[in-house]
Amino acid sequence: MGKQLITQRRGRGTPTYRAPSHRYYGEIKYRHYDEAEKNSVVYGTILDLIDCPGHIAPLAKIKYDTKEEVLISAPLHVKVGDIVASGIHAPVQTGNVLPLKNIPEGTAIYNLECKPGDGGKLVRTAGVCARVIGKLGDTVVVKLPSRKQKTLLGDCRATIGTIAGDGRLEKPFLKAGKRMHAMRARNKL
Can you tell me whether residue 106 is helix, strand or coil? coil
C-beta separation of 50 from 61 below 8 A: yes
Strand ranges in the chain using DSSP code E only, listed in sequence order: 41-50, 59-64, 69-73, 83-87, 97-99, 108-110, 130-136, 139-143, 149-153, 157-160
Q: Rounded CA gap, 88 and 156, in Å?
A: 11
**Alpha carbon 101 to its chain's center:** 19
Mean pLDDT in residue range 73-87? 93
pLDDT in tens, 22-65: 888 888 989 887 654 556 889 999 999 999 888 889 999 999 99
Write the CB contacts of 182 (distance below 8 Å, at least 6 apart in sequence). Answer: 169, 173
* Of 32-41, 134-143, 146-155, the least confident: 32-41
List 48's β-bridge partners, or say none. Answer: 61
Three-state secondary-structure class, residue 95: coil
Asked if residue 159 lies in contact with residue 110, where contact means CB atoms within 8 angstroms, the answer is yes
pLDDT for 80 beyond 80: yes
Q: What is the pTM of this model?
A: 0.81
Region of 182 please: left (phi>0), alpha (psi -120 to 50) or beta.
alpha
Strand partners, 73: 59
Give alpha helix (H) positions in the chain. Answer: 6-12, 176-188
